[in-house]
Chain A
Amino acid sequence: MSEIEIRNLTKRFEVENNTVTALRDISLVIEKGDIFGIIGMSGAGKSTLVRTINYLEKPSEGQVFIDGTNLAELTERQLRKKRSEIGMIFQNFNLLEQKNVIDNVCFPLEIAGVKKKEAKKRAKELLKTVNLLEKERAYPSQLSGGQKQRVAIARALATDPKILLCDEATSALDPQTTASILKLLRQINENMGITIVIITHQMSVVTEICKKVAIIDNGRLVEEGLVEKIFEAPGSDAAKELIAGKDMRFSPLQSMDAERKIRIVFRDNSAYEPVISNLILKYQAPVNILKADTRNVGGKAIGEMILGLPEGEDLQKDIIAHLRDSGLLVTEVKEDV
């Protein structure tokens, strides 16, 4: 059975007599043990979506099933019990500022009515897992961002959840700290078998850690699938934009340029061939490398490049055909990406 199932979910908010539809008819299945990314630009509705998974936001229409249980059918008390089985971490960590590290980790256990001694024991184990045992008596204000997020992770794991929701958990952290937090999340996923849902606006987070991804744009689910596949051949405009990053949103000046642009993706061993050099040698024509990047997608090195092609329609056709023959994925990049 799937761990999380969202069925035809729509969420509307009433804002000053206006109805705003944050999410429209979203259906999503997340399997046990997955690391599932939900990505979108800010304001796309992804934070609302993740809050429907533990019913912090109740859907206007549609259902959410956790391990087969429809959350709408639970009483308030049962729902609170269910929530304690779903851990959550946040962009701003949301630690209790007036409690020290160990008391923060004990807090969900205290709420669940676990005895103090037992709670402390469990908290210490978890602090060991997140590598912060020496800070147990420190207060959040004495910790760095990365350390705070580690405490938050330990706290979220205290009640032994089956699911961990991460709402922009690395957005307030620098790249190195982000990498170490993602590594920790992967360890937790592998060692404890916890299903992890990651909400982010950073494609690098998704490619680094997620197996599957859903792309949310303007409240709609526009694309979903294996990260590798979507990264190689994004179908939706939102996906293309997220992969390309902000720099690739062409300015009006650039779009006046008639140059034809293509995106090529190198997979597996094609990344080691001198494809561009061979191309130039073969056609004796210059190609313009507008952008090049190599990323680690699910442990594999995947390269991408945006090329500006030389003039001449036949030549362009030949070049594209040549690149496809070399085993590369080629997609046209439109000016209005």
Chain B
Amino acid sequence: MFNEKVILMLLEGIRDTLYMTLVSTLIGYLVGLPFGILLYVTSEKGLHPNKIIYRVGDFICNVIRSIPFLILLILLIPFTRLIVGKSYGSTATIVPLVICAAPYIARVVESSLNEVDAGVVEAAKSMGASNAQIVFKVLLVEARISLLTGFTITTGLLLGYSAMSGTVGGGGLGDIAVRYGYYRWQTDIMLVTVLLLILIFQIIQNVGTKIATGLDHRKR
């Protein structure tokens, strides 16, 4: 059963899963982090309140987040094809993953920044700090543990979503599980992919938690 071919396929599956998860998390943060900062800054109690910008951002965030990922995956097929050239395979899956992740990340970032003590922000203001300095030297630094925890959770979420994309030919471990477990009734291979997904998830979560605890100077 587990001949060389299957093992090779599983290894490729791991590679593709990690590729999709990590790349979409990183690109997701490139979009979501500034988006989250924007939401924080323009919110009512933010550094530079702006009702219109906040409401538009808030609306976009909610709309995308209210679409189930599987439907988003299908909805975005024309768009994905436009960007990547095809609508199946790991690289193509990154497009809907990023679009799904970005507003989620924005919310996670916004809530992390909201956790920073308003008094500390006020202290920085009293020192003459500009809003940009407050964001980069105070908020992102003080919220870094919470941001890292958010990053870990997001990576875990995208790991799951990348597996979900297997149903429409997304590649990776999820794809293998669907093809062998669902279409061919080869439960053993499906179980192995599930175990591999659990293992990867555990590694991501543990590494994330370790780094966060190690960097935290609040309690020791």
Segment from A81-89, A193-201, A224-232, A260-268 that makes contact with B: A81-89
CA distance A141 to B117 in the complex (A): 14
CA distance A298 to B52 in the complex (A): 54
Knowing A111-B133, A139-B220, say if A98 contacts B123 (CB, 8 Å): no
Query: What residues on B are CB-neighbors of A140 within 8 Å?
Result: 217
CB of A96 within 8 A of chain B? yes
Q: Are B127 and A98 in contact (CB under 8 A)?
A: no
CB-CB contacts of B117-132 with A at 8 A, as 1s and 0s? 1011011111111100
Q: Are A99 and B126 in contact (CB under 8 A)?
A: no
Query: What residues on A are CB-neighbors of B126 within 8 Å?
Result: 54, 56, 83, 86-88, 165
CB of A108 within 8 A of chain B? yes
> From residue A119, how far is it (CB to closest CB) to chain B in Å?
13
Q: Are B217 and A83 in contact (CB under 8 A)?
A: no
Q: Are A92 and B119 in contact (CB under 8 A)?
A: yes
A-B contact count (CB 8 A): 77
CA distance A86 to B126 in the complex (A): 8
CA distance A81 to B141 in the complex (A): 23
CA distance A92 to B129 in the complex (A): 19
Knowing A139-B217, A141-B220, say if A96 contacts B128 (CB, 8 Å): no
CA distance A110 to B127 in the complex (A): 10
CA distance A226 to B111 in the complex (A): 48
Query: What residues on B are CB-neighbors of A108 within 8 Å?
Result: 127-128
Query: What residues on A are CB-neighbors of B86 within 8 Å?
Result: none
Contacting B at CB under 8 A, from A42-56, are 54, 56
CB of B184 within 8 A of chain A? no
Give the residue of B119, B128, B141, B215 whose beta carbon is less than 8 angstroms from that of A94: B119
Give the residue of B129, B137, B218 whose beta carbon is less than 8 angstroms from that of A141: B218
Closest to A80 in B: B128
CA distance A83 to B125 in the complex (A): 8
Q: Are B129 and A80 in contact (CB under 8 A)?
A: yes
CB of A159 within 8 A of chain B? yes
Q: Are A94 and B127 in contact (CB under 8 A)?
A: no
CB-CB contacts of B123-164 with A at 8 A, as 1s and 0s? 111111110010001100110110000000000000000000
Query: What residues on A are CB-neighbors of B130 within 8 Å?
Result: 80
Q: Are B129 and A94 in contact (CB under 8 A)?
A: no
> From residue B74, how far is it (CB to closest CB) to chain A in Å?
43
Query: What residues on B are CB-neighbors of A293 within 8 Å?
Result: none
CB of A90 within 8 A of chain B? yes
> From residue B29, how far is it (CB to closest CB) to chain A in Å?
20
Q: Are B122 and A81 in contact (CB under 8 A)?
A: no
Closest to A90 in B: B119
CB of B219 within 8 A of chain A? yes
Give the residue of B123, B138, B219 whose beta carbon is less than 8 angstroms from that of A88: B123
Closest to A159 in B: B127
CB of A315 within 8 A of chain B? no
Query: What residues on B are CB-neighbors of A87 within 8 Å?
Result: 126
Closest to A97 in B: B218
CB of A100 within 8 A of chain B? yes
Contacting B at CB under 8 A, from A30-85, are 54, 56, 80-84
Residues of B at the A interface (CB closer than 8 Å) are: 117, 119-120, 122-130, 133, 137-138, 141-142, 144-145, 215-220
- Knowing that A98-B215, A111-B133 touch, tell me 11 more A-B residue pairs with CB under 8 angstroms: A84-B128, A88-B126, A90-B119, A90-B123, A94-B117, A96-B141, A97-B117, A97-B142, A98-B218, A141-B218, A142-B220
What are the 5 A-B residue pairs with the smallest beta carbon separation, nearest first? Answer: A84-B128, A94-B123, A83-B128, A80-B128, A88-B126
